[in-house]
Structure 1
Amino acid sequence: MSAWFAAVAFPLSYDLMPFDRYLTQEGIIHRFTEEQTKGLQVLWLVDPEDVEKVKQLVDLMSDDGPEVFDRLDRSSETSMMNPSGNSGSGISGGRSTPMIDWASYWRDIRQFPVTVSFVSLGILGFFLFKLAQSGTGPILNLLTFHEVIIAQKDLVSVYQDLQNGELWRLFTPVFIHFDFMHVAFNCALFWFLGRKIELIQGSSVLLSLSIVSGVLSNLLQASWYGIAFFGGLSGIVYALVGYIWMWQINHPRSNLCIPLPMIIFLLVFLALGFTPIITLFASAEVANGAHLGGVISGIIFGFIHSRLNRSSSRETNDSNN
């Protein structure tokens, strides 16, 4: 794949999420970055052949304003729901098209590699757990914080396997999921939040945040509850929430934001995990340590990153003045 290049810039006040969805549906590999010092959002492309098409869309916007993005988004959704000619799904033009749009999956893999990888590995961990329920699960046993299939008398410390050099166990429990609701809830939230971060700030930021928060949440869970079988992406999901929360506090005009009711709901759910209420309805114990470790690490990561961004922005402004 060729290198990214800047194609066009928009004012920071523009809501480009409908435009982002439209470009994705059109198969245009892209990403947005924000330049706070200049008050701009920059659209980056990979394929030079997409430039002309993007410029045509920008010309439409110059005539009708940013509201054209909403109309483009709605018209794109309508064309997908009610196909005509040779586009869309179902039977069209005398021939049928596949029920699954494999091209869109490939675009997601190229544009959101970290998000797609974590969601895929989380689903794989769910199937590994289901396979292991029928007997010994040697692969699953390599992913846990400590070996689960082991004589109790042989496991003297929750850190025993780590002390033996198996350091990957600090992170790999995040991929283990115990039931359908567990994996569906975690993967859906990671898909929603991860793509936001990866689109606006890049894959390296999302990967760094996920690894750091995954390790810290697992360590807190193990230290708090001792020898226990735990896992799931929820610790990282809480870190993503904390990170975005801090970012939108320090950069209110940023497109990296989520609705406040969503933040409140997840924080209330976190608090309820420390009461008997959740366990009355859940089939398993809640990993409160992982949730708490995740949100704390995400808040710290987000606070530091967003403040550094503000500081660099002020320094740039001062030097320009």
Structure 2
Amino acid sequence: MSHWITVYSFPISKDLSALFRFIQRYQLPLRITEEGNQQALLTTDSGIAELLKPLLQDWERGLVDLDRVQLTPAEPETHSQQVEAEQSPGEKKPVRPSFLPSFPLDKTPISLLLIALCFFGWFLHSNNLSAPFLIYPDNNSGHPFSQSSLMWHLEKGEIWRLWTPAIINLSFQHALFNALAIWIFGRPVEARGGPIIFSVLVLLGGVVANLSQYAWKPEVIFAGMSGVVYTLIGFALVVQRWQPAWRDIPPGIITLSVVWMILCAIGVITYLTGIRIANAAHFGGFFAGLLIALVYCIAGGARKFNSYPAST
């Protein structure tokens, strides 16, 4: 028995039915025994032990559904990089974890609310009901801030207008694009980081994005969730540098999003599509996300994002 390695230990009361199904589904070289007051998961492969431990930690915390975790065939690699099945001729080829995060919906309620608000905002705009949520354009940008349209809103107590332009989406495609972005960037951040840091990102990032856009072009009306999305992108960029193992959001998507932001800023996207883009909101949200993430990581919050690597 000395060649068996303990991968993870669970309380004696923990229901391991999903883990049994996971092991059987992929014919993994694992066994479960009872040792003292614990249920121990054992393996003979140190590579699989290293790969599975973070996954099992997330499963125990309720962040992962093992019945929905996917494994894909791997090309031949070193023994420590593969999860090899104990097999005889004719059995399955070696597999390597390709973990596609599947967070329970109750772990990401704010993200789901934001997605719903994207389409609600499009409904408001398409029915000419969006005026109470927008910052009125300031046609005379030369006068002092005390006489600006934004100050007029604030003096009337309409504080919500600092954030609510993020709700309004100017077309169905606009709403769909932002909703998909929240699904990709928002849910992993909320599920890992928790509702407090996610709320800070959404609320503070949205305000900074809107104020940035208003300061840049106060004479133009603006709307959309993209400033919040870029806050999440900036946050994810820093956290992935702090916790390189965190791959719920593929790094390539983050890089592509930053490139898109730059292409929008230099006018390429507007030239090709004719669509005007709130570039200042993108940059304001992005830098807000970077700053929040830096403070968060220095304070030790990045440990919540110590996760298994996802497939690329």
Whether these two folds match at TM > 0.5 is yes
2:111 maps to a residue whose letter is T
Q: Does 1:295 align with 2:289?
A: no
Give the Cα separation in 2 of the matches to 1:122 and 1:72: 28
Question: 1:210 maps to what in 2?
Answer: 202
Deviations 1:66-105 (A, max 9, x none): 6799996349xxxxxxxxxxxxxxxxxxxxxxxxxxxxxx
Q: Give, in whole Å, the separation in 1 of the partners of 2:265 and 2:283.
A: 10
* 1:143 is aligned to 2:139: no
- After TM superposition, give the deviation of residue 276 of structure 1 in Å: 3.0
Map residues 45-194 of structure 1 onto 2, 5 A cutoff.
51-54=15-18, 56=20, 62-63=30-31, 65=48, 73-74=69-70, 108=105, 110-132=106-128, 137=129, 140-146=130-136, 157-159=148-150, 160-194=152-186
Look up the match of 1:23: none
Q: Does 1:233 align with 2:225?
A: yes
C-alpha distance in structure 1 between counterparts of 2:241 and 2:267, whole Å: 32
Larger Rg: 2
**One of 269, 283, 298 as aligned partner of 2:260:** 269
> How far does residue 57 in structure 1 lie from its aligned partner after superposition?
5.2
Instruction: State how far apart, in whole Å, the 2-side matches of 1:70 and 1:161 are.
Output: 50
Q: Is the contact made by 2:122 and 2:169 (CA closer than 8 Å) also made in structure 1?
A: yes
Instruction: State how far apart, in whole Å, the 1-side matches of 2:269 and 2:67 are.
Output: 42
Aligned-partner Cα distance in 2 for 1:111–1:244: 18
Please, what TM-score do these two structures have when normalized by structure 1? 0.61
Could you tell me how far 1:303 is from its partner in structure 2?
A: 1.1
Identity %: 25
Deviation at 1:213, TM superposition (A): 0.2
Aligned mates of 1:280, 1:53 — CA distance in 2 = 56
Shifted more, 292-301 versus 245-254: the winner is 245-254
- Contact 2:118 2:176 survives alignment (8 Å): no
Deviations 1:121-157 (A, max 9, x none): 111001111111xxxx3xx111102379xxxxxxx62
**Structure 1 residue matching 2:289: 3-state secondary structure:** helix
1:276 counterpart letter in structure 2: G
Give matches, 1:299-310, under 5 Å.
299-309=290-300
Q: Please report the RMSD computed on the Cα atoms of aligned residues, expressed in angstroms.
A: 3.5
Are the aligned partners of 1:170 and 1:218 in contact in 2 as well (CA < 8 Å)? yes
- Conserved? CA contact 1:141–1:147, under 8 Å: no
Letter in 2 for 1:293: G
User: What amino acid maps onto 1:295 in structure 2?
Assistant: F
| Residue type of the alignment partner of 2:17 | K
Whichever residue aligns with residue 142 of structure 1, its letter is P
Q: Structure 2: give runs of 5+ residues left out of the alignment.
A: 1-5, 32-42, 56-64, 72-103, 139-146, 305-312
The aligned residue for residue 78 of structure 2 is: none
Q: Aligned in 2, Cα 1:283/1:176: closer, same or farther, shift over 3 Å?
A: farther
Structure 1 unaligned blocks of 5 or more? 1-9, 12-39, 44-48, 76-106, 149-155, 314-321
The residue type paired with residue 258 of structure 1 is I
